[in-house]
Amino acid sequence: MTHRHIVWRPDEPQVARCLIGGHRAPAPGCACGIHAEPSLEVLREQGLCMAPAEPLVLGQVALWGAVVKDDHGLRAELGYPSALSLVTADARPEPGDLVALARYCGEAGTATPAEALGDIAASILAFQAMSR
């Protein structure tokens, strides 16, 4: 699952709304809805795991309500995180970071950039960080 600039509140499902057509989401022929991919590999292929800066959180989402399957994965009316991982090169992230994520699904883990992004994407991000 990926979406930028959307606030997911703990204990509240995300409700999709179409900002373009004004109809109930998800709708056939539109891109509205809460997007999810069936596998991490699909996210990597589409470049959706690339992040311009940290932090990056990778997760699984439970979807319900109206759910549409299309060429790009799944789109749903309602969703909520079921598992979350903080992507960090540091073996010991700040404890508060994991506590904040655990508010959503009870437990949060960590993943290295290579595990989450793949080796090539992780190398690109590491190079970008050195260039700053």
Total domains in the chain come to 1
Please give the model's pTM, rounded to 2 decimal places: 0.75
Q: What is the dihedral of CA 37, 10, 58, 41, to 10 degrees?
A: -10
Residue 85 lies in a domain: yes
pLDDT at 33 (0 to 100):
92
Residue 116 lies in a domain: yes
Name the nearest CA neighbour of 81 among 98, 58, 102, 104.
104
Name the nearest CA neighbour of 78 among 14, 9, 10.
14
- pLDDT by residue (tens digit) across 88-116? 876 678 878 888 889 988 888 888 877 87
- pLDDT by residue (tens digit) across 50-100? 555 567 788 889 999 999 998 878 999 999 999 998 888 766 788 788 888
Please tell me which residue, 4 or 27, carries the higher pLDDT value. Answer: 27
Tokens of 54: 């940290």
Q: How confident is the model at residue 130 (pLDDT cuts 50, 70, 90)?
A: low
Residue 59 lies in a domain: yes
Peptide bond into 55 cis (omega under 30): yes
Q: How confident is the model at residue 26 (pLDDT cuts 50, 70, 90)?
A: very high
Residue 6 lies in a domain: no
Distance, in Å, from the CA atom of 77 to the CA atom of 105, rounded to the nearest integer, reads 19
